[in-house]
Structures are given as C-alpha cells and as structure tokens.
C-alpha cells in the first residue's frame, strides 16, 4: 500500500476524474446495470449566463415617426474685457454653432429562433424540464438582442 502524498493524490484524482467523464461534451449510451436497461440521465443542468448592457445610458427614445436624428450645439461665448464707456454695448454679438450632424437608422435586424412541436418533449422527463428549456430559448432571444445593442453602442 502506497503512502498518500499531495503530488500522488493530485495525479490519482486527475486520472479518476478524466476516467469518470466529468464535464465532457459527448454522450455515449451505456447499459452498466444487471438488467441491461439503458442507463438514464439523472439530472439535466442548465448553465445560465447573465448578459447586461453596460451602456444602457445611451438608449434613446422610440421614434414613432421619422428615424433620422439631427444634432446641433451652440458654442460657448468667450469673455471680453469690460468696456466702461459702453461703446460696444449695442454692437452685434452673434452666436456661433458647431457643425450640424445627422444619425441615420441602422435598419432592422432579426434574431431567428425556431421552437418545433414535439421536439423537446422527447428529451425531457417532465413539464418542469420542458418549461426550463423553453424559458432558456426565450432568454437567449432577449440576451442576444441585449448583446447586439451593446456591441452597436461600443462600435459607435
């Protein structure tokens, strides 16, 4: 019998976990039971991710009519020395402006998702698992839109 050492234990556990097929992305049917039945999945676990638009402060209002935005800005006014005589008081002091700029609509994009009848039902054990998958598909739609909007804002 070998004595346990940290290095030996790490090696043993690495081999054990690799052989146990933990976290692999393929599934092979097995019948490792005395009856010869197909081994059943014990749990289906969903790894939910959280996506957020860190630039939501750039969300503008919904434009019901017209889609182009015209932006303009007035320049600040440079101070002048005080004229106690008032000789320039009534002379014109016209405002100046920054060049006008325009923002055009980027157009519509579609995020496609298909949910077929009698598809997911064959892969789950109960309505809770079915509902979880449908909720995941719905969440993916909203998360995809969130990430698209965030990427557009970052690009802008």
User: What tokens were used for 51?
Assistant: 């996506």
Mean pLDDT of all residues belonging to the chain: 89
Q: Average pLDDT for residues 4-30, to the nearest whole number?
A: 85
Q: What is the largest CA-CA distance in the chain?
A: 110
Is the model's pLDDT at 12 over the cut of 80?
Answer: yes
Is the model's pLDDT at 136 over the cut of 90?
Answer: yes
User: What tokens were used for 21?
Assistant: 């097929």
Identify the residue whose tokens are 């935005």. Answer: 69
More confident residue, 142 or 88: 142
pLDDT digits (tens, 9 = 90+) for 68-108: 999 999 999 999 999 999 998 889 999 999 999 999 988 88
User: What tokens were used for 4?
Assistant: 């346990």
Rounded Cα–Cα distance for residues 29 and 32 (Å): 10
User: What tokens were used for 155?
Assistant: 């690009």
Model pLDDT, residue 144: 95
Q: Average pLDDT for residues 42-69, to the nearest whole number?
A: 87
């Amino acid at each position: 019998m070998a004595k346990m050492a940290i290095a030996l234990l790490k090696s043993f556990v690495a081999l054990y976990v690799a052989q146990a097929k933990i976290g692999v992305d393929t599934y092979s049917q097995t019948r490792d039971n005395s009856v010869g039945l197909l081994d059943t999945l014990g749990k289906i676990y969903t790894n939910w991710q959280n996506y957020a638009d860190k630039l939501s402060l750039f969300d503008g209002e919904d434009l019901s009519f017209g889609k182009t935005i015209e932006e303009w800005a007035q320049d600040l006014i440079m101070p002048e020395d005080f004229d106690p005589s008032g000789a320039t008081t009534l002379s014109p002091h016209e405002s100046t402006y920054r060049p006008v700029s325009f923002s055009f609509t980027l157009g519509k994009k579609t995020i496609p998702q298909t949910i077929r009848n009698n598809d997911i039902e064959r892969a789950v054990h109960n309505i809770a698992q079915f509902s979880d998958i449908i909720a995941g598909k719905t969440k993916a739609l909203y998360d995809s839109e969130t990430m698209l909007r965030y990427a557009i804002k970052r690009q802008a």
